[in-house]
Amino acid sequence: MTNEDLAALEGVGPAMSSKLRSAGLTNVETVVVTPPKEIAEKTGIGFNTVLKIVASARKMLNIGFISANELWEKRKNMVKCSLGSEELNKLFGGGIESQAMTELIGEYGVGKTQICFTLCVMAQLPPEKGGLNGNVVFIDTEGTFIPERIFEIATALELDLDPHEILKNIFLARAYNSAHQSLLIEQLFKFCPANNVKLVVVDSMIGHFRGEYIGREHLAERQQKLNSCLHKLLRLTEAYNLPVVITNQVYANPAQVFFGDPNKPTGGHIMAHACTHRIFLRKGARGTRLARVIDSPYLPENSVRFKITAKGVEDVPAPTA
């Protein structure tokens, strides 16, 4: 699907198509996956007209009931990005998937950002080397994006690509508060297709929301705003066939020990429902790390061990004897 397809929609002339495009609705898929109310608000197009445009977009993409076999076909377009560790790839069913949102959960220092950095490099490789042949957007909410570390990973992996080129292909946005973060996510609908972006990272998804909405009385508002952001990201994964990786923090809940760990993911049910695959990370013996699938529609609840090294994340050699 290309941008030109917008003009092929019933009732969409050049003016209307430019209104849609400037609101980030750059292709027919985005028109279909965005709630009509939101399209009307963003574009200023009347609600009834929007409903007609959406109906026409659905017709064009043949959206209604589809057979499970058609869904099977659609999922064949799914691409996977290697994590640079065979064990982690195995855990993720081959790599981080497009058309899905993957959540990395864990305490401070466990390696969430390191996995994201490794993915930023791997995504740029050709598919035969486990990559997505594309560029990366990194939304940094904690100020922990360190280009020197990416440079180190890219160098240590001894790739055919110049580490400076790898840095040039990572588009970084520092989000200063949750409203800014939402705005940046909104802009991805235009930015990703225009810049060959094949992977989006939000590290961390929840930090600002937790910091800004304190106390029970603000919880509902926080969850509603978080939900809207998460759903935009999910739509992005579908509209552009790309993987979104987000990180999540934990809070201690000694009353409820979770896989031998008193820490629980933050963000409640909203976060749990929006993410396709939830991976819980914790520290293991001798500096190793453990990753465990805690929720996924088809990945088994396995766990694997890995370590953080100059190469990003790597397998832990099997113990001898």
Ligand X SMILES: Nc1ncnc2c1ncn2[C@@H]1O[C@H](COP(=O)(O)OP(=O)(O)O)[C@@H](O)[C@H]1O
Spatial contact of 111 and 285, defined as CB atoms under 8 Å apart:
no
Tokens of 51: 């409903």
Report if residue 114 touches ligand X, rule: CB under 6 A.
yes
Segment contacting ligand X by CB under 6 A, of 29-37, 103-111, 122-130, 174-182: 103-111
Q: DSSP assignment of 258-296, as one string?
A: BTTBSEEESSHHHHHHH-SEEEEEEE-GGG-EEEEEEE-
Report if residue 113 touches Mg ion, rule: CB under 5 A.
yes
- Interface mask toward ligand X for 52-91; x: CB under 6 A: ----------------------------------------
Segment contacting ligand X by CB under 6 A, of 68-76, 90-98, 106-114, 254-262: 106-114
Q: Which of 81, 100, 110, 245 binds ligand X (CB under 6 A)?
A: 110
> Footprint of ligand X on residues 284-313 (CB under 6 A)?
308-310
The closest alpha carbon to 83, from 146, 127, 131, 144, belongs to 131
* Cα–Cα distance for residue pair 146/115, rounded to 1 Å: 13
Q: Which of 106, 134, 243, 265 binds ligand X (CB under 6 A)?
A: 106
| Residue with smaller CB distance to ligand X, 142 or 238 | 142
Q: How many residues does the chain have?
A: 321
CB of 111 to ligand X, least distance (A): 4
Say which amino acid occupies 50: V
Report if residue 113 touches ligand X, rule: CB under 6 A.
yes
β partners of residue 81? 96
What backbone torsions phi and psi does residue 14 show, to the nearest 5 degrees?
-60, -40
Alpha helices (runs of H) in 157-293, residue ranges in sequence order:
163-168, 178-194, 207-212, 219-239, 268-274
| Residue with smaller CB distance to Mg ion, 11 or 143 | 143
Spatial contact of 12 and 49, defined as CB atoms under 8 Å apart:
no
Segment contacting Mg ion by CB under 5 A, of 28-36, 128-136, 142-150, 187-195: 142-150
| Residue with smaller CB distance to ligand X, 189 or 306 | 306
How many residues touch Mg ion under the rule CB under 5 A: the total is 3
CB of 138 to ligand X, least distance (A): 13
* Cα–Cα distance for residue pair 293/104, rounded to 1 Å: 10
Report if residue 249 touches Mg ion, rule: CB under 5 A.
no
Spatial contact of 266 and 249, defined as CB atoms under 8 Å apart:
yes
| Residue with smaller CB distance to Mg ion, 84 or 207 | 207
By CB under 6 A, name the binding residues for ligand X. 106, 108-114, 149, 152, 308-310
**Site residues, Mg ion (CB under 5 A):** 112-113, 144
